[in-house]
Structure 1
Amino acid sequence: MSDDPFGPTILEDPSDFHRNMRERGPIVYLSRYDVYGMGRYNDVHAALIDWQSFESAAGVGLSNFRYEKPWRPPSLLLESNPPRHDAPRGVLSAILNVRALKGLRDNWIADAAALVDELCDRREVDAVADIARVFPLRVFPDAVGIGRTGRDNLLPYGDHLFNAFGPSNELVAKGAHRIGELSAWVMAQCERAALRDEVIDGQPTFGAQIWAAADRGDITYEQAPLVVRSLLSAGVDTTVLGISAVLAAFAHHPDQWRAVRDNPALARVAFDEAVRWESPVQTFFRTATKDIAIGDHVVPDGKKILMFLGSANRDPRRWADPDQFDLRRNPSGHVGFGMGIHQCVGQHVARLEAEALLVALTQRFESIAMTGTPRRHHNNTLRAWETLPITLTPA
């Protein structure tokens, strides 16, 4: 295929490209970048869990760390193999598991209610700028332990980071002039002295717990700031996009909004269905560790394979009516958070944030409706909204 998956046409709407790719077979050759592409659910899922054959340590972007120097220290979670991957992953998994997050639940529910109260007098809002970007930046950095000054840096930093996983195109150039300044700010927040010890009721912040793990010897002191950086790199943008996606879905599917109002337990299902349906993280690369036969093709050792998570999440071989946002569906098994040992370690945090916000919204508003033309924000890796104008009708 000669199409450019990082070009503006496909970034605006990848559905036709994904459909054509799936129809061609389990793997296709993307001649523009001399890489392979994989878009069917079963093949993407199998590759993601087979880290021995499809490795992340050579980078989850187009750049191949076997032959190129990374522009920043590689992620200990996303871009390393066992055993180097194991200790940082184990530390964060313990800090961010469902049971450990219970102490934050009541506080986040109260924060969500406060934000929704602020919206009640406005009615017409931008779901991205006024809701989806606001709530994660309000609660997540608090949980990590960073101060309030400069939090807005996290969004352009994350945007550039995810752009940099693709080719060096105009999207990368757009953020290049600030990345030195933004990276320096982020790394400064990862140092022990910059992090608060407590978030609420004596509960240690995520950052404090990471540094405590270094004190115990679970990870090294050199690894600790990189583990904190992993939270700040991927813990805000993806949640912002997931919340944007579920609000967009409700604006187009009023019956699904009513279903959550009638049964708030569906809030988490709605968020996961939105992650499947919209796939905020559209792609990640893997690298073949040997010659791998896939269908009628052999992917040579060292070649990059682009995993199209968004395509897999709408593969009709796996999902009935995949283009429909449907809360009667069980969306578990989607690959929107990845899969296998490199699956998103912060997915429970994102679900808790989304649940708190959605329940608060359903309690106060009878309906969400689109009031203008939404506009996409293009990113080499992410599927994002720039604006999402909506009207909120009070209950």
Structure 2
Amino acid sequence: MIKPSHIANSAAPPAVPPVDVHGTGAAIVDIDPFSIEFFEDPHRIHEALREAGPVVWLPRWGVHAVARYEEVRAVLHDPAIFCSGRGVGLSDFAKEKPWRPQSLILEADPPAHGRTRAVLSRVLSPAVMKTLRERFQAAANQLVDRLLVRREIDAVADLAETFPLSVFPEAVGLREDGREHLLPYAGLAFNAFGPPNELRQRAFETAAPHVAWVMEQCQRENLKPGGFGAAIHAAADTGAITHEEAPLLVRSLLTAGLDTTVNSIGAAIYCLARFPEAWAALRADPTLARAAFEEAVRFESPVQTFFRTTTRPVEIGGVHLDEGSKVLMFLGAANRDPRRWSDPGRYDPIRSTVGHVGFGSGIHMCVGQLLGRLEGEVILSALAAKVGSIAITGPVVRRYNNTLRGLERLPVTLTAA
């Protein structure tokens, strides 16, 4: 737990001495974590950030950052000092207006956060996931059968995107037309957490139709009965939330429930194609599907970063932060911190991944995690049961986003078992 006066730092001393030190006591590391160079090879820079110290100063954007597991998890678990209500991106909502109404989940603090979170937790409960499993597994099996006929596919467009888009909108209760707006909208939302760079500006330039469609779909009259969306609106009838809050909660589900799942499934397939021993283990024991998905989330960290803002002066890792300091958390770096993980650069579906921060941690852990985990598990179990080999057959292309790490193209050949 972080105390306003001090946080103990038990990590090993930096292996590389910092070039310079900021006035707060943080090592200065002049990198841009929102650059294409960084997106292409974050792991090398993550290592430099971890070794520079428990807290670093990034002069490019004027923020402090944490990249070691201990400090990242500590920040995630102390919302009273490191708040989300002032924005989980670079923008500080105490100083500037949000680009759209704040999320009632991601950009909210207790006690308000607990009230709205409780509604989504009921809508997406483990019991509800059980009712979806058979339908999702059947859809996964059918998709893999179709892809095996084609053999040569793009594992992003044809699998990682197609499967969630075939089950998620139906579970929410969205109408059929216009679903092509879902991925661009989620990409916009996650790009918006970054700085005013080209990625963010380009996303906003093309945002209008995607935002309009999503907001229209969040209204009660446009949602089918029996879906997650209708259940959220029903919570307003009981007084758990207001009728004005219900569409915003549906929007939160649409934002959190698709892009991260797409990138996680893509990451899992990419890992299994590159690590034949892991693929052999999954083929031998398809019950490892959930573990293989979980390890891919740790290994690739589809959600790379989030910000918090300090609510009061605090010391962390020997660095003194003033109230209103933005702190950037490198979730991907924490998930490969050798202080926490043995041989962290190896993808191993047998590994215990308990405690990884790929879905966040603490009260703001990803609200759609159970749904994403279900989708990841059933599609990997279908692949393990039906596919003998997955071979990468062309250039792998990254998709750039200020917050997310994923692939644009992953050409593979599938061979039947």
Q: Equivalent residue for 2:236?
A: 214
Moved more, 106-115 or 176-185: 176-185
Is residue 227 of structure 1 aligned with residue 240 of structure 2? no
1:183 corresponds, among 211, 214, 238, to 211
1:150 corresponds, among 178, 197, 205, to 178
Q: Equivalent residue for 1:105?
A: 133
Distance across 1 between alignment mates of 2:222 and 2:156: 29
1:301 corresponds, among 323, 329, 332, to 323
Q: Equivalent residue for 2:7?
A: none
TM-score norm. by structure 1 comes to 0.97
Ranges of 4+ aligned residues in structure 1 off by more than 2 Å: none
Q: Equivalent residue for 2:266?
A: 244
Partner secondary structure for residue 193 of structure 2: coil
Is this contact kept in 2: 1:129–1:387, CA < 8 A? yes
Q: Equivalent residue for 1:363?
A: 385
* 1:1-395 paired onto structure 2 within 5 Å: 1-197=29-225, 204-395=226-417
Residues 157-190 of structure 1, C-alpha deviation per residue, up to 9 Å, x if partnerless? 1111111100111111222222122111101000
Distance across 1 between alignment mates of 2:38 and 2:365: 25
Aligned residues: 389
Residue type of the alignment partner of 1:240? V
Moved more, 350-359 or 308-317: 350-359
Aligned-pair CA distance for 1:370:
0.9
Distance across 2 between alignment mates of 1:79 and 1:330: 30
Residues 354-384 of structure 1, C-alpha deviation per residue, up to 9 Å, x if partnerless? 1111111111111111111201111110111
Distance across 1 between alignment mates of 2:101 and 2:211: 11
Residue type of the alignment partner of 1:103? T
Structure 2 regions of 5+ residues with no counterpart? 1-28
Partner secondary structure for residue 368 of structure 1: strand
Distance across 2 between alignment mates of 1:377 and 1:153: 17
Residues 256-311 of structure 1, C-alpha deviation per residue, up to 9 Å, x if partnerless? 11211221111000111000000000000000111111223111110100000000
Structure 1 regions of 5+ residues with no counterpart? 198-203
Residues 210-265 of structure 1, C-alpha deviation per residue, up to 9 Å, x if partnerless? 01110011111011000000011121100000000000000001221121122111
Partner secondary structure for residue 51 of structure 2: helix
Is this contact kept in 1: 2:271–2:296, CA < 8 A? yes
Distance across 1 between alignment mates of 2:311 and 2:327: 11
Distance across 1 between alignment mates of 2:254 and 2:185: 9
Distance across 1 between alignment mates of 2:309 and 2:332: 19
Aligned-pair CA distance for 1:114:
1.2
Residue type of the alignment partner of 1:391? T
Is this contact kept in 2: 1:272–1:332, CA < 8 A? no
Distance across 2 between alignment mates of 1:88 and 1:297: 34
Moved more, 115-124 or 50-59: 115-124
Distance across 2 between alignment mates of 1:144 and 1:338: 23
Residues 57-116 of structure 1, C-alpha deviation per residue, up to 9 Å, x if partnerless? 000000000101101011100001111111110011111121221111111111111111
Distance across 2 between alignment mates of 1:137 and 1:56: 29
Residues 296-353 of structure 1, C-alpha deviation per residue, up to 9 Å, x if partnerless? 3111110100000000000000000101101221011100000111001111101111
Distance across 2 between alignment mates of 1:88 and 1:393: 46
Residues 25-49 of structure 1, C-alpha deviation per residue, up to 9 Å, x if partnerless? 1100111111001000011001101
Is this contact kept in 1: 2:256–2:367, CA < 8 A? no
Distance across 2 between alignment mates of 1:326 and 1:19: 20
Partner secondary structure for residue 74 of structure 1: coil
Distance across 2 between alignment mates of 1:257 and 1:212: 43
